[in-house]
């Protein structure tokens, strides 16, 4: 049995050395590469707005290149970063309690709170002025209620999944984790449908005073949910390969922290943007 473990480890190839590129010590360059990809994504989105209309400041080519390139670099770098943070421990047969990784997620979420807070501050500033600043689209709908219920339910299923693996109940863990991924995909699809109805059917403005706040905050949250679905899917694939147990489930714990945070932000968005805008 020992030879099987050794062969599986020797046959596995890491995406890059942990101290990538080689010769720069143990400090990882993956976070920097991930930040570069995220910067390209945001720059492409901003330039895409400037490329709209007859008096466009830039052409459509540059925003497209930045968006596609930014997303590609971001996802590839995120894969390398999370691999060396989580998956490499499995292939090296290193258990550990993962306490440092959980605190790393706490610090990441703390910075994410500041990111969302900047958008909310803008909306609160606009809200204190003459209201409404123009004709508002129809925000409160059954679709929003269904989306909210779906996301809340996904937090419940993920919590059950996490508790199941901590208790050693692998089949229940896989079932509820799979349900969480499905619910996450449904939410993303629901938000895309909502955007279609607001922008295409109702013709809501994307760059006016209210639209810039609404679509920036909900779009940022949607990006977080999409990323969370990818992370959950990776955890599900790893779970199917038997890489988690009652003693080794750090990736499940950190992904759960991220997903519950995204859920809480959505509830705040619903109260502030959807209900608060028409109240």
- List, for residues 144-193, the tens digit of each pLDDT value: 999 999 999 999 999 999 999 999 999 999 999 999 999 999 999 999 99
* CA–CA distance, 70 with 68 (Å, rounded to integer): 6
Tokens 């922290």 sit at which residue?
A: 257
How much is the pLDDT for 99?
56
Q: What CATH number should be reported for the domain holding residue 262?
A: 1.20.120.80
Q: Please, what is the average pLDDT of the chain? A: 84
Tell which wins on pLDDT, 28 or 154.
154
Q: Are residues 81 and 103 in the same domain?
A: no
Please tell me whether residues 46 and 160 are part of one structural domain: no
Question: Does residue 136 sit in the same domain as residue 61?
Answer: no
Range 136-169 burial, b when 16+ CB lie within 10 A, else e: ebebeeeebeebbebbebbbebbebbbebbbeeb
Q: Could you give the percent of the chain with pLDDT greater than 70? A: 84
Q: What is the per-residue DSSP string for 90-133? A: HHTT-----HHHHHHHHHHHHHHHHHHHHHHHHHHHHHTSSSSS
Q: How many domains in the chain?
A: 2
In the chain, the N- to C-terminal Cα span, in Å, equals 66
Q: List the domain range (segments joined by +) for residue 83.
A: 1-94
Is residue 81 within 8 A of residue 104, CB to CB? The reply is: no
Shared-domain flag, residues 106 and 85? no
For residues 215 and 206, what is the distance between their CA atoms, to the nearest angstrom?
7
Same domain flag for 135 and 258: yes
107 and 35 in a common domain: no
For 62-72, what is each residue's pLDDT tens digit? 889 999 999 99
The helix/strand/coil state of 65 is: helix
17-35 b/e (C-beta count within 10 Å ≥ 16 → b): ebebeeeeeeebbbeebbe
Domain end: 43, 64, 94, which one? 94
Whether residues 20 and 149 share a domain: the answer is no
Are 128 and 25 in the same domain?
Answer: no
Which residues are CB-contacts of 48 (< 8 A; sequence separation ≥ 6)? 60, 63, 64, 67
Question: Are 205 and 80 within one domain?
Answer: no
pLDDT of residue 93: 55
For 137-149, write each residue's pLDDT tens digit: 888 889 999 999 9
Of the candidates 228, 254, 249, 227, the one whose C-alpha atom is nearest the C-alpha of residue 238 is 249
Q: Which of 49, 75, 94 is the last residue of a domain?
A: 94
End residue of a domain, out of 63, 94, 125? 94
pTM of the complete model? 0.76
- The rounded Cα 240 to chain-centroid distance in angstroms is 22
Higher pLDDT, 79 or 266: 266
Residues in CB range of 16: below 8 A, 6 or more apart = 80
* Shared-domain flag, residues 206 and 107: yes
């Amino acid at each position: 049995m020992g030879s099987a473990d050794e062969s599986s480890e020797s046959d596995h190839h890491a995406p890059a050395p942990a101290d990538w590129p080689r010769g720069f010590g143990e400090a990882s360059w993956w976070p920097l590469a991930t930040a570069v990809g995220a910067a390209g994504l945001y720059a492409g989105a901003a330039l895409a707005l400037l490329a709209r209309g007859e008096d466009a400041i830039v052409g459509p080519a540059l925003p497209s290149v930045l968006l596609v390139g930014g997303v590609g670099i971001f996802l590839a770098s995120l894969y390398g970063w999370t691999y060396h943070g989580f998956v490499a421990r499995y292939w090296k047969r290193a258990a550990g309690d993962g306490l440092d990784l959980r605190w790393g997620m706490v610090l990441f979420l703390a910075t994410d709170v500041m990111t969302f807070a900047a958008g909310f501050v803008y909306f609160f500033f606009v809200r204190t002025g003459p209201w409404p600043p123009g004709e508002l689209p129809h925000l409160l709908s059954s679709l929003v209620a269904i989306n909210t219920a779906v996301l809340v339910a996904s937090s419940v299923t993920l919590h059950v999944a996490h508790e199941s693996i901590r208790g050693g109940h692998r089949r229940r863990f896989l079932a509820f984790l799979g349900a969480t991924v499905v619910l996450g995909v449904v939410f993303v699809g629901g938000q895309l449908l909502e955007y279609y109805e607001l922008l295409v059917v109702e013709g809501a403005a994307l760059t006016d005073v209210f639209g810039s706040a609404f679509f920036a905050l909900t779009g940022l949250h949607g990006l977080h949910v999409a990323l969370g679905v990818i992370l959950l899917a990776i955890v599900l694939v790893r779970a199917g390969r038997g890489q988690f147990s009652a003693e080794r489930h750090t990736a499940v714990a950190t992904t759960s922290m991220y997903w519950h945070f995204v859920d809480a932000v959505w509830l705040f968005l619903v109260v502030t943007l959807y209900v608060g805008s028409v109240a």
